[in-house]
Structure 1
Amino acid sequence: MAAGFLSSSSFSLYNSRYYSSRNSLGGGNASVTFNFRQRSLICSSSKNKPSFVDQILDYIEGGPKLRKWYGAPDRLPKDGAILEEAETYPEKDEVRDAVLVSDGDNDIGQMVILSLIVKRIRVKALVKDKRAAVEAFGNYVEPMAGDTNDRSFQKKALRGVRAIICPNEGFLSQVESLKGVQHVIILSQLSVYRGTGGVQALMNSKARKLAEQDESFVMASGIPHTIIRAGSLQNTPGGKQGFSFKEGSAAQGSLSKEDAAFICMEALDAVPQRGLIFEVINSEDTVSDWKECFAKLMEKAEQQLQ
């Protein structure tokens, strides 16, 4: 496994080899360094198939022909200015085809963003620095920076959004309305927070409150939602272990951040009729078919509601 980094910003690219194998984009043990636009990537590569980062580079650097599928502009303005969302996507005749990542600065959020780019999905991301996001991800991400408590900013961020992926807590509880959104995915640490005591519980008290508010909000909204209550998130290689979905496991177990990002992406294509809440940690059970896995989790959730 090789890790990567973006030298011109705080954004990081993790687990190129892992994601290339998950997306059937090849793998290998060789290491190769790419330098482009003052950015440096260290990743896995394959002698026979294009690696994950090779494809990302093709999309970002491939010129007008490859940009057309995404609808991105041919080039950035000469003065380096970033077009405003309202100008690019007018509210009138709105098409909801975007996925909003609620934290594009988060490690898991960045992994999710890269996977969305590979799938040629229109991506919007909440970030602290719009220019850094453009330098990191090119024109394939619509970065949104602003006060998430501001109603006008919320409306702009959610314009054209069909699904929201929240890699951490704190965004949903601030939102006034999710009207038009068709699916919300939350990566929740609530089980972990509830399982801690003493000083650790005090340290997690604010995060726990936000997680509880986020979950309560989306459950009351009536919008189809998937709440992934993961074990303690770890900076360990993904794709190396199996999983357990047993109730109560998340409070004591752990989950690779890379696996967490992958599960969020798989959840995007598995929209429940109402809501799906499940726990997951790394364990011994191999999941060979995630579509079937989510179908079983939904069936179990429906049975519990009857």
Structure 2
Amino acid sequence: MSTAKILVTGATGRTGSIVIGKLWEQKNNFQAFGFARSKEKIKEIFGSTEGFYLGDIRDQDSLKPALKDCEALIITTSAVPQMKQPPQEGERPEFTYPENATPEIIDYQGQINQIDLAKEAGVNHIVLMGSMGGTNEDHPLNKLGNGNILIWKRKAEQYLIDSGIDYTIIRAGGLLNEPGGKRQLLVGKNDTLLNRESPTIPREDVATLIIQALSIPEARNKAFDVVSESEAMSQGKATTDFAALFSQTTSGL
């Protein structure tokens, strides 16, 4: 039986790189490729460019070859704010986005490019990594560089839902650089989980959830928020039944 070809965009990002690494550990199940702009960054993280397509989500012509014969697309791309300059003592830092890498360009138009070309290529399933907070237009993340990043992400999510391709939209809470597989995961909707004391989740757990979504039917055509209990609260009962977790989620924004 042939393995399914999977493309991971944003594969040199902090979460995307975990996703592609985990997929490569499952070579019997997946034929995974990364997609990224910087050859230098790929080499820095992975040692070589083997298993990668070089390109830019803003350039449809560079995306097309990567999506050829793909069964599924995993989107982890995101605009990244940059600090204007170190703040003076007692002042808050100010942020901006590069002119051609604003949330509107990366998180909206860049995702539309990926969705449109995936549909054209016959991709059957798109797993999109999003962010919680999109129900609140006044969320602090939207103020960074006046980028409205969560608003643009939300618009792209709706575009995916309307595309007709099977989707799984995973909106993570605050991302932690801590080991995964040790916590109980909690899913929700409409940012209600933000009311928790610490609405966070390890990146590694998000990566695991993304990969589980590829092969579990209960993950299809679902959009949901996800956070984790602390290790102490989880009491050694980490989430392992992902079909049951996905069954708690619903379709639509």
TM-score (normalizing by structure 2): 0.69
Correspondent of 1:164 among 73, 79, 85 = 73
Matched with 2:143 is 202
- Equivalent position SS for 1:123: strand
Equivalent residue letter for 1:174: N
Correspondent of 1:251 among 153, 175, 194 = 194
Closer/same/farther in 2, CA of residues 136 and 122 from structure 1, 3 Å limit: farther
> Does residue 1:101 correspond to 2:8, yes or no?
yes
Closer/same/farther in 2, CA of residues 109 and 241 from structure 1, 3 Å limit: same
Matched with 1:37 is none
* 1:245 shift after superposition: 1.5
* 1:105 shift after superposition: 1.2
Matched with 1:264 is 210
Larger Rg: 1
Matched with 1:229 is 171
- Equivalent position SS for 1:251: helix
Matched with 1:149 is 58
> Does residue 1:218 correspond to 2:170, yes or no?
no
Closer/same/farther in 2, CA of residues 196 and 155 from structure 1, 3 Å limit: same
Q: Distance in 2 between matches of 1:220 and 1:268?
A: 20
* 1:149 shift after superposition: 2.4
Q: Distance in 2 between matches of 1:262 and 1:274?
A: 16
Question: Structure 1 unaligned runs (5+)?
Answer: 1-94
* 1:213 shift after superposition: 3.0
Q: Distance in 1 between matches of 2:157 and 2:163?
A: 10
Q: Distance in 2 between matches of 1:160 and 1:139?
A: 23
> Does residue 1:290 correspond to 2:242, yes or no?
yes
- Equivalent position SS for 1:301: coil
Q: Distance in 2 between matches of 1:273 and 1:243?
A: 15
Q: Distance in 1 between matches of 2:165 and 2:58?
A: 21
Q: Distance in 2 between matches of 1:264 and 1:187?
A: 8
The structure whose RCO (Cα within 8 Å, separation 6+) is larger is 2
Q: Do the aligned partners of 1:245 and 1:280 also contact (CA within 8 Å) in 2?
A: yes
Closer/same/farther in 2, CA of residues 249 and 257 from structure 1, 3 Å limit: farther
Matched with 2:39 is 130
Q: Distance in 2 between matches of 1:275 and 1:221?
A: 11
* 1:131 shift after superposition: 5.7
1:38-117 equivalences in 2 (<5 Å): 97-117=4-24
- Equivalent position SS for 1:185: strand
What's the Cα RMSD here? 3.1
Q: Deviations over 1:168-225 (max 9, x none)?
A: 4424223333221111111110x32444747543117442233123212211111110
* 1:289 shift after superposition: 1.5
Matched with 2:83 is none
Q: Do the aligned partners of 1:96 and 1:162 also contact (CA within 8 Å) in 2?
A: no
Matched with 2:250 is 301
